[in-house]
Structure 1
């Protein structure tokens, strides 16, 4: 038997879909990727109540999805969702993909995607050599805070202290959204741009999600935060609404339509949020390096270009 390389991946959402898209492209498994994605989207819609549930309860659906007699079929598990009532939600658990059809693959080699709530932390504890997670979590966990701002994902590795972790960012998946500076018209500058220079001179409240506090400190730099007081949305309140009440804030935007609906102006895109491939360099083997090369590549349209 050849070596099977486990890869930590998110259990659901946009980051997992980005990983599946990458595997569909590089390993020629589009049907498998589509199957997992469609199943999880269906379950998300059931959990959110946007489609009517069928007659089968969540346990029967879980049994139907997980085909235990096929070792290459995807498996799923149950997770408590954060929505009202804490419903049980079906999420991704694992799937094994043989690499026998991949040119130059070691004999018998395979990869096994393994769902984790926070894949980056699984790499930090040396459970995995490879994994995918949001670049945001790396900033929230290990990057050094400095006076100077952090502008690019490609600069993250330079701010990771090797004494803190053996994990490094390899590349991004190109599913980019941005942490964007948002302000009401009465707070935004009447002349000039709503950008980092504005923040350098600004003093007052800045609304952010609590979990992004360290990320924002890294992205803006500690010098720019002098005279700024963090404010946080009340539990259950929409982030854009809280920023509109505060007057200024930082939040993830895709199109910015929701921010505009709350009367907010879109300022500088401060930092890209992107799913990234991570590697624990202390756990790298020859087969791990081969798998990493399969997942990396110049064909990626990403904010990150480490080693390319």
Structure 2
């Protein structure tokens, strides 16, 4: 008998793309995954105003939905938080069958929280949210996905991280040459000795404290970019900061030195261990790539 496993996934953006690419490694959904990704990138461009469309979002939603194919992806509408709060088409659901397992991918704004409230046994979300919400703050910092589960108090949540998907962008130390000086190295030890403002994205205080450790952030005063300023420009004005970087080219354009890559901002597969059964465990193993990964210990 085929087991259907609901899986909470992000509704849009890089994390959802990473999930679809992972599922495509175990199921024949390349065409559907490409269609979802291209559709949502187009809808993002419409929301940002870099493209325009004659049809309303309701008409586009109807066009995407009227396929006559029960295996086709479904979409829904949400209000975007941009100026004017435009309606945005986002991912809703998709069923994928592999052997005797059907994965029912269901879009959620906050998949991690859906697992925490026991709505799902399995899901994907950013590792950042785990650090922001449940990883314990300790004097020493954390530098890898493999360290996360040891920092989660089981009394706080039944959710554990299984593995990362490799869509890695790093939280990286950035600073002006003047702030670093001629002899210092821009790393965790530098921050431990540093006293002054540290520019970070709003709401990332707990994440940065978890990554650097409370001992290193003692004496640091968090500063934030204004709504109109680029993060790299704000860090250049502040002197030292932490920001997500891929190539670092924009940071260099602002005259910043790239320091230590502190922690991977990566989409992760998570499991609510209290809700897991044999079928969920089978789905978890299916979604973990044995050729490139070692699943993190889930007890």
TM-score bucket (shorter structure):
over 0.9
CA shift, 1:307, in A, is 4.6
Distance (Å, rounded) in 2 between the aligned partners of 1:199 and 1:189: 13
Superposed, 1:105-184 pairs within 5 Å as: 105=100, 109-184=101-176
Does the aligned pair in 1 maintain the 2:137–2:213 contact within 8 Å? yes
Q: Report if the CA contact (8 A) 2:27-2:97 is conserved.
A: no
Matches within 5 A, 1:7-22: 7-22=7-22
Matched ranges for 1:189-228 at <5 A? 189-228=181-220
* 1:98 CA displacement: 2.4
Q: What displacement does 1:68 show?
A: 7.0
User: Superposition pairs for residues 152-301 of structure 1, below 5 Å?
Assistant: 152-300=144-292
CA distance in 1, matches of 2:73, 2:12: 13
Aligned length: 298
Structure 1, unaligned runs of 5 or more: none
Between stretches 158-167 and 291-300, larger displacement belongs to: 291-300
Q: How far apart are 1:141 and its partner, in Å? A: 0.4
Is the counterpart of residue 28 in structure 1 residue 20 in structure 2?
A: no
Q: What TM-score, normalized to structure 1?
A: 0.93
The one-character-per-residue Cα deviations of 1:218-249 (angstroms, maximum 9, x if unpaired) are 00000011211111112232111111111110
2:115 match: secondary structure: helix
> How far has the Cα of 1:2 moved from its partner?
3.6
1:217 CA drift (Å): 0.3
- Stretches (4+) displaced over 4 A: none
Secondary structure, counterpart of 2:274 in structure 1? helix
User: What is the CA distance between 1:295 and its match in structure 2?
Assistant: 0.2
**Mapped contact 1:149–1:220 kept (Cα < 8 A):** yes
Structure-1 separation of matches of 2:151 and 2:82? 35
Query: Which residue of the partner structure matches residue 82 of structure 1?
Result: 81
Structure 2 spans left out of the alignment, 5+ residues: none
- Distance between the aligned counterparts of 1:268 and 1:10, measured in 2? 29
Find the aligned partners of 1:211 and 1:91 in 2 and give their Cα distance.
24
How high is the TM-score relative to the length of structure 2?
A: 0.96
- Please state whether the residue corresponding to 2:190 is helix, strand or coil: helix
Which stretch has the larger CA shift, 212-221 or 67-76?
67-76
Conserved 8 A contact 2:173-2:258: yes
Larger CA deviation: 229-238 vs 113-122: 229-238
Distance across 2 between alignment mates of 1:225 and 1:255: 26
